[in-house]
C-alpha cells in the first residue's frame, strides 16, 4: 500500500468515527510514527511492520476520540509548543487571537521603554503565558493555576521561560501585584453545566472538568475575573477573557454592568463567531471594587 493509499484509508476510518479533521489527523499521526512532518510524509521511508502496528494503535485511539494532542504529546500554539496529556486542557487554535491581543498590548508598553506586567489567570498548560514571554521578552509574566495536575503540566512547559507560576485560586492570587498589572488575560472555564451533552467528546471525556464548566450559565469564572481585575490592574490596565460563542452578549455584560469598566468590547474569531471580551479599568484610579458585584 502506498503512503497516499494508507492515508486515505486512515482518514476514512477516522471520518467514520466522527473525527472532525480526519485527513489532518491521519497525516499528523503518521508523521509522528515516522519521526517526520506532515509536509514531508511523501519523502519518508516505507513503514516497517513496527511502524504499521504503532500507527494502527494510534488510529484506534483517535477513532475512540482520544485527543490528537494527547497522542502526539504536544500542542502547537502561535510560535511555541507545549506538552499536554491527561489532566490538562488542550489549547485551541481560536485562543491564539486572545493571546495575540495580550501580546499586542504588552508589546506597545514595552515599546515605551517600560516593563509590561502581565498576569495569566487559569493558565492550564501555560500556553498563553509562554506565548507572551516568547513574543514580548521584556514583559514580566505571571501565571496561576488552581488544579494541581494542570499546574504540573504548566510547570514543565514554563520552565526556563522566566514566567512566574503559582498554584492558587484566581479569586485570591497575586495580592502582591494589586494595582500594578498592565494586562490581565484568561481563558477560563465557561461551559454551562447544562451544556454537558453538547461538548465535543474529546473535551468532555479528556479535558479536566475544572477547566470546562463554570456554573449554570457558564459565567461564574468570568464574574470573578471582572471583580479581580479591578484589584489587580493599574488604572488604564486592560483585561481580555475568552468565552463561548453563545456568550457574545452575556460575557461583555458582566463587564458593562455597574459602569466600573470602560471600553468593553467583544471580538470575533476567524470563523466570525464571538470569542473573547476585552475591557479597560478606568484611568481615574478610584477604588472600583467597593460596593460593586459582577
Cβ-in-10-Å burial (0-12, 13-18, 19+) of 50 comes to: exposed
274 labeled part of a ligand binding site = no
State the number of CA atoms in the 13 A half-sphere of 242 facing the CB: 27
Burial of 217 (0-12, 13-18, 19+ CB in 10 A): middle
Give the ranges where 142-235 is alpha helix by DSSP (H): 148-158, 201-206, 220-232
Q: Residue 164, annotated ligand binder? A: no
Paired with 280 in beta bridges are: 238, 262
Q: Is 190 annotated as a binding residue?
A: yes
Degrees (nearest 5) of the Cα angle 21, 25, 27? 125
Is 145 known to sit in a ligand binding site?
yes
**Which residues partner with 76 through β-bridges?**
81
Ligand-binding annotation for 45, yes or no, is no
Nearest Cα to 95, choosing from 83, 106, 110, 80?
80
Extract the annotated binding site for S-adenosyl-L-methionine. Answer: 145, 187
Extract the annotated binding site for substrate. Answer: 187-190
Extract the annotated binding site. Answer: 145, 187-190
Amino acid at each position: 500500500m502506498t503512503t497516499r493509499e494508507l492515508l486515505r484509508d486512515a482518514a476514512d476510518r477516522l471520518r467514520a468515527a466522527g473525527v472532525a479533521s480526519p485527513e489532518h489527523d491521519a497525516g499528523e499521526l503518521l508523521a509522528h510514527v515516522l519521526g517526520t512532518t506532515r509536509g514531508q510524509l511523501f519523502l519518508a521511508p516505507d513503514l516497517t511492520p513496527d511502524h504499521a502496528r504503532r500507527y494502527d494503535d494510534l488510529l484506534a485511539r483517535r477513532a475512540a476520540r482520544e485527543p490528537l494532542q494527547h497522542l502526539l504529546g504536544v500542542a502547537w500554539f502561535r510560535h511555541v509548543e507545549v506538552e499536554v496529556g491527561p489532566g490538562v486542557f488542550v489549547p485551541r487554535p481560536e485562543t491564539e487571537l486572545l493571546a495575540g491581543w495580550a501580546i499586542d498590548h504588552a508589546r506597545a508598553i514595552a515599546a515605551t521603554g517600560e516593563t509590561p506586567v502581565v498576569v495569566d489567570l487559569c493558565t492550564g498548560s501555560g500556553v498563553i503565558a509562554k506565548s507572551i514571554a516568547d513574543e514580548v521578552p521584556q514583559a514580566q509574566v505571571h501565571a496561576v493555576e488552581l488544579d494541581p495536575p494542570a499546574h504540573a503540566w504548566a510547570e514543565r512547559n514554563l520552565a526556563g521561560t522566566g514566567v512566574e507560576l503559582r498554584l492558587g485560586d484566581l479569586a485570591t492570587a497575586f495580592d502582591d501585584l494589586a494595582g500594578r498589572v498592565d494586562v490581565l488575560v484568561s481563558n477560563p472555564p465557561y461551559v454551562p453545566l447544562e451544556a454537558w451533552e453538547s461538548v465535543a467528546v474529546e473535551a468532555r471525556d479528556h479535558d479536566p472538568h475544572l477547566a470546562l464548566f463554570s456554573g449554570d450559565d457558564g459565567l461564574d469564572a468570568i464574574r470573578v475575573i471582572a471583580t479581580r481585575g479591578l484589584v489587580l490592574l493599574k488604572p488604564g490596565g486592560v483585561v481580555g477573557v475568552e468565552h463561548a460563542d453563545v456568550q457574545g452578549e452575556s460575557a461583555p455584560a458582566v463587564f458593562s454592568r455597574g459602569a466600573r469598566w470602560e471600553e468593553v468590547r467583544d471580538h470575533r474569531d476567524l470563523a466570525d463567531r464571538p470569542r473573547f471580551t476585552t475591557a479597560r479599568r478606568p484611568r481615574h484610579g478610584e477604588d472600583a471594587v467597593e460596593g460593586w458585584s459582577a
